[in-house]
Amino acid sequence: MANREELLVIRAARAGQAPAQLALGKRYLFGGAGLPKSATTALYWLDRAARQQQDEAWLLIGSHIPFEAASRAAQPASLCVWYERAFDSGVLQAGLVLAKLVLAQTGDCTSDILRKKAWMALEAVAHAGFGEAQWLMAQLIGHANGCDGTDLRALSSHSFHSSILKMPVNDNAKKIVLEWTVRAADGGVARAQYALAEYAWHAGNYDNFLRWALPLARQAIVRRQSRSFSDPSEEPVIDEASLLAHCCEVLIARGNFDPTELECFLEAAASAGDPRSCLALGLWFGRMDCNGTRLTEVRGLANYKKALRWLVAAGEQGLAEAWFATSRIYLKPEFSQRNLLDSNYYVQKAAEAGHTVAQLELGMAAWRSRRNDQSKDVEAAFWLQKAAAQGCAQAQQLIQKITDVTVCAAWAQAASKQLAYDKNRPVPFLVARLELAVIFGLSRAEALLLNVNAADCGHCLLIDIRDVHPRSKRRLILIDSNEQRQALSRIVRLFEDVDCGLKGPEGNYRQRLYRLRVLVPD
């Protein structure tokens, strides 16, 4: 609460007395016995004092009022004159604020003379060693040379940190941008350091990446451990989760790291929701790789309960390797909660997410159990086909063993040609069966007796007519092309509401064979 003396100053300042306005601005700027520090309020009174020829007022504005407070003023453009005077008087930081204020204006709010003066001021401040000015110089030069399409007004914000990644076409401009960015990074500007780390990451220069990223990662860990967060009103300076995740990836690949520090990096990145970091942290706690193999070079006992927590989190974010690693943990004899059913459950989830080894395992397991359940051969073909499509040679060999290759059915082709178009309408089912025989290479008995409704298994055609033709055998034919899939779907729709058995409208085998011989005598 303001004391009596400060109340008198406030009353005089409101009455328009310049010395009182200057004094009140100083009290709000540095804080008084009863008045809080407020850069915005201080600027208001110092601006009024400067308009009444109080030179100390604009010197104080240039020396102590930051850009953030100036940009929130009612008319920021009108404050440029004070920062210009302060810079001309030797206050270097005023030149940086002047440049930012000019950049933040749109249209014809500023003259060409003022823009040139702002550029000269920024260049002088940058050469004087101000890191923020050097970073702004790098962004301006990059923007001027087609670095990206970001609005100039965004250059003063934290979000504009990607200009270094989309380098200018001009090699000379590229060199200048990098020089200013490096100088700013050496001066401690976190956004410049992060930009260089991103640039090195995308360029594959991991030595340079670690040079800039490791200090930022360590600072992020210190902030996390001390819980000293910045002003929530500010935008985040860097993407810490991505930075930590990339650091972990490079350090693990090189194998030269401090285990305690790496674990801190992984926990921080995983806690931020990065899926790859969740996977890496789960494998780290499990002391294993994605296939469940023990990592002998990593010391310490495995903590499978912690490992499961992070592996499940990674799996829920779409990483098939995490589900497969989880299944390996449930197979380990040293794990107190070892459970084969849980292992099979997570292998299933890994296979559904596209994991090749999991698909191969499911296919092999289904094929081995076909004696107890003959429908397991269809399931085996399904998973092996998926694994083979991802380049698994073992799955490709097994799928050739399980399924039959489509062979041209010459008899069906000849029969289809002999059927005249005007005779197709009375026998649509026979025509459809002949088409099926041509596409999948079926024998005459298979074509005439196949239960079309039950034959379509999605990924393959199940040929099984042993109930009515005991000498035949059960076999699978893979559906390899879109043409086969479309033709089969069309034929299945034709038989959708039709009984394909011997009591159906097509009759028994002799009747179907007789009808075929009548229509196709040869």
Q: What is the pLDDT of residues 11-26, one digit of tens each?
A: 888 888 989 899 888 8
Residue 103 has a pLDDT of 83
Residue 363 has a pLDDT of 95
* Whether pLDDT at 92 is above 70: yes
* Whether pLDDT at 8 is above 90: no
Average pLDDT over all residues of the chain: 85
User: Tokens 């009747």 — which residue?
Assistant: 511
Question: What pLDDT digit, counting tens, does each position of 426-473 carry?
Answer: 678 888 899 899 999 999 999 899 999 889 999 999 999 998 888 889
Q: How many CB atoms lie within 10 A of CB 282?
A: 30
Is the Cβ–Cβ distance between 83 and 48 less than 8 Å?
A: no
Residue 194: strand, helix, or coil: helix
* Whether pLDDT at 165 is above 60: no
User: Tokens 């197979």 — which residue?
Assistant: 331
Residue 486 to residues 407, 482, 494: CA-CA distances in angstroms? 19, 6, 13
Q: How far apart are CA 4 and CA 512, in angstroms?
A: 113
Residue 311 has a pLDDT of 96
Is the Cβ–Cβ distance between 432 and 495 less than 8 Å?
A: yes
Residue 257 has a pLDDT of 84
Contacts 24+ apart (CB under 8 A), 15-20: 18/48, 18/49, 18/52, 18/53, 18/54, 19/49, 19/54
Q: How far apart are CA 283 and CA 326, in angstroms?
A: 9
Residue 339 has a pLDDT of 94
Residue 232 has a pLDDT of 40
* Whether pLDDT at 233 is above 50: no
Identify any residues that bridge with 456 across adjacent strands, giving them in sequence order.
461
Question: What pLDDT digit, counting tens, does each position of 304-327 carry?
Answer: 999 999 999 999 999 999 999 999
* Whether pLDDT at 127 is above 60: yes
State how far Cα 38 lies from the chain centre: 41
User: Tokens 């910045």 — which residue?
Assistant: 230
Is the Cβ–Cβ distance between 6 and 32 less than 8 Å?
A: yes
Confidence of residue 282 (pLDDT cuts 50, 70, 90): very high
Confidence of residue 420 (pLDDT cuts 50, 70, 90): low
Residue 521 has a pLDDT of 76
Q: What are phi and psi of 31, to 5 degrees?
A: 90, 140
Lowest mean pLDDT among 169-183, 253-267, 399-413, 480-494: 169-183
User: Cβ-count burial of 357 within 10 angstroms (0-12 exposed, 13-18 middle, 19+ buried)?
Assistant: buried
Report the share of the chain in percent with pLDDT over 90. Answer: 37
